[in-house]
Chain A
Amino acid sequence: MNKKSRLHIPRPTARPGEKPDFSYLDLSPAGSLEKPAIDARTRDIEHLSSGLVRVLDDDHVAQGPWDPKLDVGKLHIALRWMLLNRMFDQRMWQIQRQGRISFYMEALGEEAVSIAAAMALRPADMCFPSYRNQGLYMYRGLKLVDMMCQCLSNTRDMCKGRQLPIMYHSNKANVFSISGNLATQYPHAVGWAMASAIKGEDHIAATWVGDGSTAEADFHHAITFAAVYQAPVILNVVNNQWAISSFQGTAGGERRSFAARGLGLGIPGVRVDGNDLLAVYSATLWAAERARRGGGPTLIELVTYRGGAHSTSDDPSKYRPKDEWQTFPLGDPIERLKQHMISSGHWSDEQHEQLETELKAEVLAAWKEAQQYGTMTEGPFLDPATMFDDVYAETPAHLESQRRRMIEVESSNGAGTSSEGGAS
């Protein structure tokens, strides 16, 4: 065998020690893409899936028809929540590094994805998040202390110690339970939206998945169902360039955008600057209105960059250049909105610093409170007997019997009070 393999193996443009190279990223100038009518036909707007919807230009000025023209109050809100998301993540990362929680995932550099969408959607619209969408829960009113208690698996943990940190849920806030398995939420969002349509309601669903997870069968099932039934759903693909160590080409992003994934099914695709809060807000609002009026699903690709590690268990210096994020052409969503507000005279560095200080204090206060309800090492602790609850609506006999055995064995200190030992 002297034949050489002819297989194409996708490779990122730069690995550790090499110069970051984002030349593969197609960019459109801010304001250059027109904004089609809500009822535009998919075939007439296919170019939106290859262009890039951008509002903020390189001088941080809002440009073009996608500018949502948010008032100053809204801009403040957006900045505040993105910053809170970041401050929260920073604190939780630190806490994990101190060994006080087992695991964490930050949204560094991707904060606009969640905050802009949460602002553009209505409260009754249902969100089916991925694991980096903590901003949705925050914006929709989950208390920081409750999120921290979840990460601590303490006595106030909404998941009662059953889930890894960051797997939040909130029926009240209309944000679904995070699974941990990838892309499984995609068909749920479509089914939820189908039910909304069947009931004749105008609530829509929105869901998020990473560029890597678009390879999962669930993604393809979901977009097929969404297209077939014209479900009122926004299908977001957060293209942060990296799926742990695999760059977006490994999921098939080398030759065509992720926004184009739905075109074959007639789903319009909009490729958006995911680090431009105004663009994300505007595209989400456009897709939401389209869905609400019976126009069916929209696939939105949010082009962004995963500023941090995949999780606290990951070390990105092993597979990508350390300074890659610093050269990412779409920058940092918080910095960009901040500069936009400063340049339009609505904000200053001093105000920004003050806000940062306030939010840091808010996060710290929440952390102090959260620890009172227990940590992994210090009580009070959750009662392990609750592990048998909620497997079913009512606990069946065999689980009640196992609960009794567990309590018996745990309280016997291994002395063996039963003739059966630990067996049952």
Chain B
Amino acid sequence: MAQMNMIEAIRSALDVVMDADPNVVILGQDVGYFGGVFRCTDGLQRKYGEHRVIDAPIAEGGIIGAAIGMGVNGMRPVAEIQFADYIYPGFDQIVSELARLRYRSCGDFFSPVTIRTPCGGGIRGGQTHSQSPEAIFAHVSGIKTVMPSNPYDAKGLLISSIESDDPIVFFEPKRIYNGPFDGDPERPAVSWASHPKGEVPEGHYTVPIGDAEVVRPGSELTIITYGTLVHVAVAGAEATGVDAEIIDVRTISPLDTETLVESVNKTGRCMIAHEATRFGGFGAEIAARVQKDCFYNLEAPVGRIAGWDTPYPHAFEWQYFPGKKRMVAGIRSMMEVE
């Protein structure tokens, strides 16, 4: 075991799979010589060479399109899109090609591309470096959508993603690259060193795609969340003293409905929290599942805590971000329902 932050854990995952499989190649802007703007691929080009860790032109559609072709030719490409906010020029290649190739050719062709992309705000990135577009991708059949909330899961899920024959969009919440964040910007930053999920095995292991995790057991309320807000939810539950069960979804699609439903049927209350905008957000899908499968056990309407339905405003980041204050208020109001 070693202490790793999320960046080191992601780098370690890439290292492990590249070492084991010569067909794994990395393609993206600044990923090679420089090692990525967030340093996730630092040192990998020196170790595996510039034919396997490839600096790409600034053309997201080209990166994903070329990665698809490489995958068809037997490689296992890991494409990095520098910010999730920049993924849209590659959207058609993801939706119309990557997601549907296996289906349209009845399995004759497929391309096992993993797309890594940092998402989320809380880093003073403004509206072009802060978005959380996971719901847009979760809506597309044929791809899987993953978002880890800690170093251990990040490494295990990334190895699973790269080894999977399915295409995967792997979102990395960049606010928690260096440490968990409880949603209170006034408090000093915390590192992963003191967090149990900062303990990461150095070798190969996997966290299965499609499995949610109960990160805090509880009996009064279920908070269903993922990414940065997992830590905000934990802090919110602690601050209110409510015995909340917190579930880290981990895989957005396909969703581990069973774990969510079992928990809500037990607690009778369900709060969904994500950083992305609320309208048409992924929380709506979870809410629909929960009301159908837990209807007779619900003691309060299903609640949602999310980003406001505006673009991400630079100067009002902390009014926009669904942080600790909103989490605490949300939990309290939900517990008031008799």
Contact = CB atoms under 8 A, between A and B. Distances in A.
* Real binding pair: yes
Interface of A: 126, 128, 158-160, 162-163, 167, 169-171, 176-177, 179, 181, 184, 186-196, 198-199, 205, 217-218, 220-222, 224-225, 228-229, 389-393, 396-398
A398 B255 contact: yes
A392 B62 CA distance: 24
Q: Which of B77, B102, B255 has the most CB of A within 10 A?
A: B102
B51 interface: yes
B74 interface: yes
A39 B254 CA distance: 51
A181 B96 CA distance: 7
B317 interface: no
B284 interface: no
Nearest to A178: B104
B279 interface: no
A63 B238 CA distance: 86
B69 interface: yes
Interface string B59-84: 10110111111111111010000000
Given A187-B68, A187-B69, A391 B89 contact: no
B57 A225 contact: yes
Contacts, number: 145
Given A158-B108, A177-B108, A195 B70 contact: yes
15 contacts: A158-B106, A160-B106, A162-B104, A184-B65, A189-B69, A192-B73, A193-B69, A218-B93, A221-B62, A222-B65, A224-B57, A228-B57, A389-B106, A392-B166, A396-B254
A222 B62 contact: yes
B96 A179 contact: yes
A218 B62 CA distance: 7
A191 B66 contact: yes
Contacts of B103: 162, 390-391
Contacts of A390: 102-103, 106-107
Contacts of A179: 96-97, 104
Given A163-B104, A177-B108, A195 B74 contact: yes
Interface of B: 25, 51-52, 54, 56-57, 59, 61-62, 64-75, 77, 89, 92-93, 96-97, 101-110, 141-142, 144, 164-166, 210, 254-255, 257
Nearest to A227: B57
Given A167-B104, A393-B110, A176 B72 contact: yes
Contact of A184 (B93, B105, B144, B164): B93
Given A179-B104, A392-B142, A221 B110 contact: no
Contact of B66 (A163, A194, A396): A194
B75 A195 contact: yes
Contacts of B59: 220-221, 224-225
Contacts of B62: 187, 218, 221-222, 224-225
A398 B61 contact: no
A188 B92 CA distance: 13
B32 to A, nearest CB: 12
B191 to A, nearest CB: 36
A221 B61 contact: yes
Nearest to B164: A393
A286 to B, nearest CB: 23
B101 A191 contact: no
Given A390-B107, A392-B144, A195 B101 contact: no
A167 B254 CA distance: 28
Contact of B93 (A170, A187, A398): A187
Contacts of B54: 229
Contacts of B52: 198
Contact of A393 (B66, B93, B166): B166
A171 B164 CA distance: 20
Nearest to A190: B66
Given A169-B105, A177-B101, A398-B257, A191 B57 contact: no
B313 to A, nearest CB: 29
A220 B141 CA distance: 27
A218 B101 contact: no
Nearest to A386: B106
B61 to A, nearest CB: 5
A391 B77 CA distance: 20
Contacts of B105: 159, 169, 171, 177
A198 B51 contact: yes
Nearest to A168: B105
Given A192-B70, A199-B73, A221-B62, 16 more contacts: A169-B105, A179-B96, A187-B66, A188-B69, A188-B97, A195-B73, A195-B75, A198-B75, A205-B69, A217-B89, A221-B61, A221-B65, A222-B65, A225-B57, A392-B142, A398-B255
Contacts of A193: 69
Q: Which of A169, A177, A189 has the most CB of B within 10 A?
A: A177
A405 to B, nearest CB: 13
Contact of B68 (A126, A158, A188, A220): A188
B312 to A, nearest CB: 25
A171 B69 contact: no
Contacts of B56: 225
Contacts of A188: 65-66, 68-69, 72, 97
Contacts of B74: 195, 199
A218 B108 CA distance: 23
Closest CB pairs A-B (n = 5): A191-B69, A187-B65, A221-B62, A191-B66, A195-B73
Contacts of A228: 57
Contacts of A158: 106, 108
B61 A391 contact: no
A188 B97 CA distance: 9
A167 B101 CA distance: 12
A158 B257 CA distance: 34
